[in-house]
Structure 1
Amino acid sequence: MTKNQQTPPTTRGWVSFVGSGPGDPDLLTVRAVELVRGAEVVVTDNPQHVALVQSLVGSAEGGPELVDASFGEDGQPLTRAQRAKVVVKAAKAGRKVVRLVNGDPFVHGSSPEEAQQVVKAGIGFEVVPGVSLATAVPAYAGIPVTSKDHREFVVVSAGDRGVDWAAHAHHDTLVVLAAGEQLATIADKLVAAGRDADTPVAVTAEGTTTGQETIVSTLGHLVADTAGSQLPTRAVTVVGHVVDLRPTLSWFETKPLFGWRVLVPRTKEQAGALSASLRGYGAVPEEVPTISVEPPRNPQQMDKAVRGLVEGRYEWIAFTSVNAVKAVREKFEEYGLDARAFSGLKIAAVGDKTADAIAAWGLRADLVPSGEQSAAGLLEDWPPYDDVLDPINRVFLPRADIATENLVAGLVDLGWEADDVTAYRTVRAAPPAAPVRDAIKTGKFDAVVFTSSSTVRNLVGIAGKPHASTVIAVIGPATAKTAEEHGLRVDVMASSPSVEELVDGLADFAGARREEMVEAGQPVTKPSERRPAARRKASS
């Protein structure tokens, strides 16, 4: 080897034991998100982690390889030692490995044993603690594990062999993990060891998720109260008088839309923000694409308008949707243009969301409606053409193929000439799967949120009308009119045409409905659990 030659660097693997928390993806730590996004391999034994990883890195090519460490090729569950071999093998290949585990890696799991094997193999590692099931799930159930009167709590994993339940019988608060089918036996053993049979018990399944359910009982009645319930292994059980605080402190399961199954009929690209807002109120959104956004059949009109924009033919460009911004931006990229082509051009946006999309392009909207965020609101603030102040009287209006003509007519009335150009088409999507269509027609959805007239028409066209018991929420008057034309009674209309106001309005409706039931002494039920005979059409 000559003096200037160097030994090629050795690629070293690295393992990060990362806690995914109790189930709510919002409880992931910042470090956990960073490592998952930068991983080359993610090893997990929880099938739900697949969706979690995809939500963080997207489903596009270039994401980490997902390795299932729950079962072997023979279909049998892997032992802790076998899972450790999977992790070590991936790291020995010189890759950045994330071992994604439920809750906290070093609390009631196999990570300590796996980490020892990683050390034995000479591979570096780190541990990223996650929010523990033992504290997070009771908190989401409205149960503090300690209080001023009960300062001691002990966590026991029922999955551990040889638990001496008599030794734990008299702790103030006992948090039991992974009880599952052993719950009845555990209750009997605690009572036999001297714990009062009237001691409160709370069992929470699917904790911190929108499927969370809590059963409150006592040690003596626990068997009867949980009979018929399919309690998963990960259910968390709290034994002690801290459970008595739940009626006062329950905050998660009392969210206005908690457990509501809400249909979101939108384009896939647009559904994210709406679904996130619904989840914030405790709903379980289910996205069903009803519209596909596609280029215009004849692109020549759009090509001509973009050339005219570059040549200075227009005084204004008016964007009436985020999709319009996207269509023009894609056309610019096709021609090798950038935002500098907008120099000297005034830009109008129909609302804040569209203005945000323009800003993401590095541009600023000169005109956004000060009142109603709609074409009508835009016209209210649009200045009339002035042949002295305005050197050009032409407006470029890139829109959907099904847009109304009101904006064009209003601009003409103000003295402007509008080039009304089809920038994109909205095409009806394929029908959803049969179970979804059945759920829509039979009332298994608690609510449907419509964000445009086309989503109403297309949903009815591909799946049929929602059941009479389903709450109908719409984004504005035009959408409400279309819903009524299709025989639907509108229960909720947003106070202004935005996704946020639409979701807030639905949450207010659900909250008022819940209060009425509580005040009447009735059990709180979801719309899907009540079946009115028929939906009355709205009065004209």
Structure 2
Amino acid sequence: MAEKQGKVWLVGAGPGAVGLLTLKGKELLEEADVIVYDQLVGKEVLSVIDTKKEMIFVGKESGHHAVPQKEIQQILVQAAREGKRVVRLKGGDPFLFGRGGEEARQLREEGIPFEVVPGVTSSLAVPAYNGIPVTHRDYASSLQIITGHKKQGEKDPLAYQEIVKAGGTLVFLMGVTALPKLMEGLIRGGLPKETGAAVLQEGTTARQKKVLATIGTLAEEAAREGIRPPALIVVGEVCRLSEELDWYEKLPLSHTRILLTRPRETIRETARKLRQRGAEVLEVPAICVSPARESEELKEVGRSLERWTWIVLTSQIGVRMFWEQMKVWKKDIRSLAGARFAVIGPGTRRELEERGIYADFMPEVYTIEQLANGLKDRIRREDRILIPRAGRGNPVLPQTLKEVCKDVRDVALYDTECQRPPRISLWKELKEEDTYVMFTSSFGVACFVEQLERERAETGRKEQETDGRRYDHIRALCIGEETAKKAREYRMQCYVAEEATVDGLLELTERIRQKNGKTTEKIKKQ
């Protein structure tokens, strides 16, 4: 039998924001067996990749040498020869000042099939995120994209006079460390010192930063502002449009980074809403969900599904898992004709409505206690109540209902466990300015702390433990008081949504950012 032949896709990851990853790139990341990635791949992009994927890092980190290019190429060849679908994930576009061309040539010589998936290049996207159109009818009708990086020991290869003579907007990639020499070279080449210029750091992310100046002053201003790689340089009069056209700064959550801890099953919609408001969102689920083992109790519930007069659903995941279980039972919506439904809040209600059922009861305050007390006033002694939910459910709900009705079945429909730490370093990300962690359950808080501790143990991190206050630097956005109570146990800085919903959390985050993180009467920091 012939050995199975794999394939390699050279995929551009874009400049950092996950929304700028192409549709084809996203599909390939979902289908890949192994992903070989660089340092410049955005954290947002890495955070959405399935944690079960085989990932091989070949970039350069502080204090660590990059994997040699020939070795990277051999990794791609070997993985493909093992029959794997290989994604070579590169920041920006694989053929623009990357080594994509060298990798493609090696693959061709080795007889490995490959495709190239272009990416959104930072040379266009980063200026756009800073309000700088690289071409404009009134300022520039052409564009030069130039690498500011040179090989070690090589003399400056740039022909500045020719560059100036060609005209148009100039974009220098990988040129921050050589910024003074680049600006001096352009002046020597004949460009007036007063020509507009900008240096743009970490564009399309929460750490986006820009310095506007002229080519005569840009190096000095960039040094004063502490600009560091990765950053690019734009030279041309189009830079003067930045303040007028800077749309990103006007978004309510620009320069805000959110670590989102919701389970993978419900994380994407919340992440989408945050990104619409300008936030950089790292998807770091703290909880993983799996169907409960098929117990005799669960089988009995399925056999008698028509007998329940109330079905109480306490989460969006609970709705989804209930419908999945109905498939196992080979039951459809007709089996629920005699039941009324109670839900804990708007998210659960919407999830139920998507399946053609409208809730009969939802409390005004979205807590287990209010759900239990509200139902207690509505049920009758002869009712039969089914509570299909997580095995770790709050006991208050069945205990309260049993005060009125004896036939209350609290059945474990699914299990929740703490997720392993993500590939990105949580400790490192928490040190970044304007970073918040969003929690939607107390169990999520406990699991996030467990992730931090596991990362610390696995990597040998030496975090300060004075007075047991290891977590007092974490700014926690909490969906309700129950969640905040758990976060306070770890001495986190807690902000609590006025309404215990995802939309309430979004409003809370916007208020905090409007006040620059300062405590006010309207922002509950406790």
Opposite residue 209 of structure 2, the aligned amino acid is E
Within the candidate set 136, 160, 163, 2:158 is matched to 163
Alignment of 1:316-327 (within 5 A): 316-322=310-316, 324-325=318-319
Residues 266, 411 of structure 1: alpha-carbon distance in 2 compared, 3 angstrom cutoff: farther
The partner residue of 2:137 within 133, 139, 148 is 148
Partner of 2:394: 402
Q: Kindly state the Cα deviation for residue 281 of structure 1 after the two structures are TM-superposed.
A: 2.9
- Do the aligned partners of residues 357 and 411 (structure 1) sit closer, same or farther apart at CA in structure 2, a change above 3 Å counting? farther
Shift of 1:305: 7.5
| 1:492–1:506 contact (8 Å) kept in structure 2 | no
| Change in CA separation of 1:203 and 1:347 when aligned onto 2, cut-off 3 Å | farther
Aligned to 2:459: none
Q: How many residues align?
A: 491
Question: Equivalent of 1:493, from 485, 494, 497?
Answer: 497
- Is 1:34 the counterpart of 2:27? The answer is yes
Q: SS at 2:387's partner residue?
A: strand
Paired amino acid for 1:29: T
- Asked if residue 25 in structure 1 is aligned to residue 18 in structure 2, the reply is yes
Matched, 1:503 2:496: no
Following the alignment from structure 1 to structure 2, what is the Cα–Cα distance between the partners of residues 293 and 38? 22
Alignment partner, residue 522 of structure 1: none
Matched, 1:238 2:242: no
Residue 139 in 1 paired to residue 128 in 2?
Answer: yes
Q: Which has the larger radius of gyration?
A: 1
Q: Percent identity?
A: 27
Residue of 303, 309, 313 corresponding to 1:315: 309
Q: 1:80 to 1:437 in 2, by over 3 A?
A: closer
Contact 1:23–1:207 (Cα < 8 Å) also in 2: yes
1:456–1:464: structure 2 CA closer, same or farther, 3 Å change rule?
Answer: farther
Q: Which runs of 5+ in 2 are unaligned?
A: 151-155, 454-467
Q: 2: CA distance between counterparts of 1:97 and 1:428?
A: 30
The unaligned stretches of length 5 or more in structure 1 are: 1-7, 514-525
Deviates more, 1:315-324 or 1:146-155: 315-324
Task: State the shift of 1:185 in Å.
Answer: 0.5
Aligned equivalents of 1:91, 1:294: Cα separation in 2:
32
Supply the AA of the counterpart residue of 2:394. Answer: I
Deviation at 1:134, TM superposition (A): 1.0
The separation in 1 between residues aligned to 2:232 and 2:192, in whole angstroms, is 20
Which AA in structure 2 matches 1:394? R
In 1, Cα distance between equivalents of 2:85 and 2:513: 46
Alignment of 1:67-466 (within 5 A): 67-70=56-59, 77=66, 80-81=69-70, 83-150=72-139, 151-159=141-149, 162-169=157-164, 171-227=167-223, 231-262=227-258, 273-284=269-280, 304=297, 307-308=300-301, 310-311=303-304, 312-322=306-316, 324-325=318-319, 337-340=329-332, 342-348=335-341, 349-355=343-349, 364-367=356-359, 369=361, 372=364, 374=366, 393-398=383-388, 401-402=393-394, 404=396, 408=400, 412=404, 419=408, 421=410, 423=412, 449=438, 451=440
Q: CA deviation digits over 1:376-396, x for unaligned, max 9?
A: 589879996799xxxx63222
Return the offset for 1:313: 3.8
C-alpha contact (below 8 Å) 1:443/1:466 kept by paired residues: no
Q: SS of 1:503's equivalent?
A: helix
CA change 1:487–1:537 in 2 (3 A) is: farther
**Partners of 2:80 and 2:86 within 8 A in 1:** yes
Q: RMSD in angstroms over aligned alpha carbons?
A: 5.2
Contact persistence 2:495–2:523 (CA under 8 A): no
Worse overlay, 262-271 or 176-185: 262-271
Cα displacement string for residues 34-59 of structure 1 (whole angstroms, at most 9, x for unaligned residues): 22322334333437479845623x12
- Offset of residue 284 of structure 1: 4.9
SS where residue 104 of structure 1 aligns?
coil
Whole-angstrom CA distance in 1 between matches of 2:286 and 2:117: 41
TM-score by length of 2: 0.72
